[in-house]
Amino acid sequence: MEKLEDKQKLWKFALNINQIDGPYEPSLLLSNMMEQEIRGAISSDEIVQKLMLAYKQED
C-alpha cells in the first residue's frame, strides 16, 4: 500500500511542477487511467493509445 501512495505522490508532484498556466484538472478519463496505472492494471503505453483514440474521435 505504501508503494501505491508513493506513486500517487509522484504523479501529483510531476503534475504540479509542469503547470505554468494554472492548476491542472485532469479529465475523468485520464484520472481513471492514472489510477489504473498506479494499481498496475494498465501500462503508460496503453494510456497513450487510449487518449489518442479518444481525442481522435472528438476531432
- Tens digit of each residue's pLDDT (9 = 90 or more) over 3-19: 888 888 877 777 666 66
Question: Does 33 reside within a domain?
Answer: yes
Question: Does 48 reside within a domain?
Answer: yes
The four Cα atoms 49, 52, 55, 59 give a dihedral, to 10 degrees, of -130
Question: Locate cell 494498465: which residue?
Answer: 42
Give the predicted TM-score (pTM) of the model.
Answer: 0.50
Question: How many domains does the chain contain in total?
Answer: 1
Given a contact cutoff of 8 angstroms between Cβ atoms, the answer to whether 9 and 2 are in contact is no
CA dist., res. 45 & res. 49, Å (int): 6
Question: Does 34 reside within a domain?
Answer: yes
pLDDT band at residue 30 using 50, 70 and 90 as cut-offs = confident
Question: Does 32 reside within a domain?
Answer: yes
Question: Does 39 reside within a domain?
Answer: yes
Given a contact cutoff of 8 angstroms between Cβ atoms, the answer to whether 26 and 34 are in contact is yes
